[in-house]
Amino acid sequence: EVVVLELSSYQTDLARALTPDVAVFTNLSPDHLDRHSGHGGYFAAKRRLFAEGGPDRAVIGVDEPEGTLPGGVSWPSGRPMTG
């Protein structure tokens, strides 16, 4: 069985448990900075998708300026993959 979900930063921030088999991080845009007290909080909410139990596979898109990861970011695997 396969289930595909699109989760906003609101949903990842409020979710009690996130343990996907595969996760895709498409971009980081300045849409909800007020809710998350700035860029860092917004990124932290998005990053939760990868932190708790972590996916077996992750796709992280960083082609757009909004998708650029903040400097010094360490993904749970310790091995970010870009392309």
Which pLDDT value is given to residue 66?
Answer: 44
Which pLDDT value is given to residue 67?
Answer: 45
Q: Which of 37-46, 53-62, 69-78 is modeled with the greatest confidence?
A: 37-46
61 with 68: CB under 8 angstroms?
no
Whether 4 is covered by a domain: the verdict is: no
Full domain range(s) for residue 66: 19-83
Asked if the model's pLDDT at residue 53 lies above 60, the reply is yes
- Residue 18: other Cβ atoms inside 10 A: 17
Q: Which amino acid is at 22?
A: V
Whether 26 is covered by a domain: the verdict is: yes
Domain count for the chain: 1
Whether 54 is covered by a domain: the verdict is: yes
- Residue 43: other Cβ atoms inside 10 A: 16
Task: For CA atoms 29, 31, 34, 36, give the dihedral sign.
Answer: negative
Mean pLDDT for 55-76 is 58
User: Which tens digit of pLDDT belongs to each residue from 11-30?
Assistant: 887 877 778 888 887 777 77
Asked if the model's pLDDT at residue 7 lies above 80, the reply is yes
